[in-house]
């Protein structure tokens, strides 16, 4: 049976997979909209790792601000930038259907920098036993 640490590790690994995919897309010629999608997905999964470790229900939402608020209940010192989370949130669904949104490489770079900050903060907040 998987314990909470195993579940958190799984979420972190899935988030790392999305982060790596976005990085590889940035290093190539795109597609950059897909890269942005994966940055949002990475952060979503990192936040869900925090909730999994705490044994909290995982909300079925792509809203990173909502997920962060849930995480703050179990990790009050997390201190993530709400503006960055709000910037990434639309990349989950809205950009997938917006025919006018075609981000460029600098947009992806900015999103990946936010992902790295979130990942670092969450790794500091999680016990070493949950790190992939």
79-95 pLDDT tens trace? 899 999 999 999 999 88
What pTM did the predictor assign? 0.94
42-51 pLDDT tens trace? 999 999 999 9
59-70 pLDDT tens trace? 999 999 999 999
pLDDT at 131 over 60: no
pLDDT at 129 over 60: no
Taking the C-alpha atoms of residue 26 and residue 28, their distance in angstroms, rounded to an integer, is 5
Assign a CATH topology to domain 4-126.
1.20.120
How many CA atoms does the CB half-sphere of 89 hold within 13 Å?
15
C-alpha torsion sign, points 26, 58, 63, 82: negative
């Amino acid at each position: 049976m998987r314990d909470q640490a195993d579940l958190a590790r799984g979420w972190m690994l899935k988030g790392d997979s999305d982060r790596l995919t976005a990085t590889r897309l940035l290093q190539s010629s795109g597609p950059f909209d897909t890269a942005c999608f994966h940055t949002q997905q990475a952060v979503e999964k990192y936040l869900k790792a925090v909730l999994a470790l705490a044994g909290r229900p995982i909300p079925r939402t792509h809203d990173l601000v909502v997920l962060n608020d849930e995480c703050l209940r179990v990790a009050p010192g997390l201190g993530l930038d709400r503006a960055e989370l709000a910037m990434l949130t639309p990349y989950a669904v809205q950009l997938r259907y917006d025919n006018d949104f075609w981000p460029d490489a600098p947009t992806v770079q900015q999103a990946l920098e936010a992902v790295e900050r979130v990942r670092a903060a969450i790794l500091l907040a999680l016990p070493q036993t949950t790190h992939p």
